[in-house]
Amino acid sequence: MRTLVITVTLSLLSIGLWAQNDFISLDRANYDYYLKKDYKNLKKSANKILALGTDYYYLRLRLGILSYEKERYATSVDNFLRARQMNPFDTISSEYVFYSYLFSGRTNDAYLFLKRVNEHQKDRQLKSIKQREGTIVYGGYSFNSYDVYKYSTNSLNYEAIESVSALNAGTQFGMGEHMRGTVGFTNLNKKSTVYSSTDSTGEYGTLTQNQLYFRLNRFFERGWELYGFAHCLFYNTDNSTRTYGRRSSSSTTLNTEVLYGLGFTKKSWYVRGGASFYHSNYSSSTQLAAEGSLSVLPFGNLNLYTTVSGMFQHDKNWGNTYQSNVEIGSKVFKYLWVEAGLLKGNSFLYSRYQGSFVNNSFLIPQSSYYGSFIIPIKKITLTVTGNYTNNVLYSWDTTDYTRTLKVEKSSVGINTLLTIKF
């Protein structure tokens, strides 16, 4: 019996010594892979260590740092949060977690995390960061030139558009810890010849619209966000009557149109999406619309992403219309991202992206191809977008709610946007 006990004891001791020696060699190899920035073998050796039932602060720290440097932000956050649990006096991990959220596009989660971090778990860099995202100011200009088709006479409502240009500017600002507001202004100018039952030979001129945009966002944990928005348009139209082909009288009418709605978004590491629902009024009618989008980020960062989105609209007088598009974006190098996309649809009220853009025209962008260059330099980002669009134009009967005389014409355009963070 004594011999059996001694044999078992020696066996257990040898197993323990073997496991200890195996752990020491694995830890030494793991540290060596960390110094060489060999992420692949670092993960393999770490998995072997964890399989032994051993988990410790420096192992998680190595995994977190190399994951961060490889821009594998989801893995980075998992390891750094585990490291913080093992070492309550750790001031390194919190900074990495904050920037992992920030550089993956989850800005709200980054600042919500920052608010939860105790002061003794912050290093000097993290303590210097503001408790909420700063003010953002943006401004831009867009111009589209259209292939024009004019009629000698047309007794229905028809627009022969030559060009549309727009200047826009706005700001985003914090409103407490969990809210953010946006106020934007757009001055849109549309040069066209307008036909109607009262002016069948057409009236050439420039229609100027001033547009105001408001949005209020409420942020929650784990990437959730709720928001409400409103877009208001103001413009004047000239009312004239003719006697024997000559203008006999005229007056000016102030027109207003309003679009408002609610929506939500959810941002996770690899999949992001959202939906919005809104109501609008245009051309003596009303519209109800729903818009949704889904983005896939295969690597959990902004280096490559694909977005599919669409809008369905029900018009009180004109029935159902839609728009859909697919877009792909990727990082070329540190200071250059590119995006390209295709839009298809038959909606004449061009209102997309949570109501932030409204082009209230009977012109239908049937298909549009676009591409963008995005240049981020520190706190300044410049976006330049070009597009080619195949448009469909009809003559619209706003009494019987019918349309005739289909014409297809193209347009080309460019859009620039400058964003500055403070």
CATH value at residue 76: 1.25.40.10
**Co-location of 109 and 166 in the same domain:** no
62 and 194 together in one domain = no
Residue ranges of the chain whose pLDDT lies below 70 = 1-21, 239-250
What is the Cα–Cα distance from 162 to 297, expressed in whole angstroms?
39
Number of domains in the chain: 2
Q: Are residues 262 and 168 in the same domain?
A: yes
**Under 8 Å between Cβ of 183 and 171:** yes
Q: What is the CATH number of the domain that holds 240?
A: 2.40.160.60
Residue 31 corresponds to which amino acid?
Answer: Y
Return the closest-CA partner of residue 97 out of 74, 115, 119: 74
Shared domain check, 142 and 103: no
Summary count for the chain: helices (H), strands (E): 7, 16
pLDDT given for residue 2 in this prediction: 44
End-to-end Cα separation, the chain, in angstroms: 79
Structure tokens belonging to residue 228: 């409400």
Give the structural domain span for 270: 136-421
- What was the pLDDT predicted at 5? 39
Mark whether 178 and 320 lie in a shared domain: yes
Q: How far is CA 54 from CA 26, 43, 48, in A?
A: 11, 14, 9
Same domain membership, residue 366 and residue 222: yes
Same domain, 86 and 233: no
Q: Are residues 354 and 230 in the same domain?
A: yes
pLDDT for 17: 40
pLDDT of the residue at 243: 52
pLDDT of residue 11: 39
Domain final position from 127, 151, 177: 127
In this structure, are 188 and 118 located in the same domain? no
For Cα atoms 357, 363, 364, give the angle at the middle one, nearest 5 degrees. Answer: 80
Quote the pTM value: 0.85
* One domain, residues 245 and 353: yes
Task: Choose the final residue of a domain: 127, 161, 180.
Answer: 127
Distances (CA, A) of 399 to 197, 205, 241: 11, 24, 19
Residue ending a domain, among 70, 103, 127, is: 127
Residues forming a β-bridge with 95: none
Tell me if residue 116 falls in helix, strand or coil.
helix
Q: What is the reported pLDDT for 323?
A: 93
> ∠ at Cα 31 (16, 126), nearest 5°?
120
For 360, residues 6+ apart whose C-beta sits below 8 A from its C-beta are: 209, 233, 257, 282, 283, 349, 350
Note whether 248 and 311 are same-domain residues. Answer: yes
Residues 49 and 170 in one domain: no
Q: In which element (H, E) is residue 66 found?
A: helix 57-69
Residue 240 is predicted with a pLDDT of 59
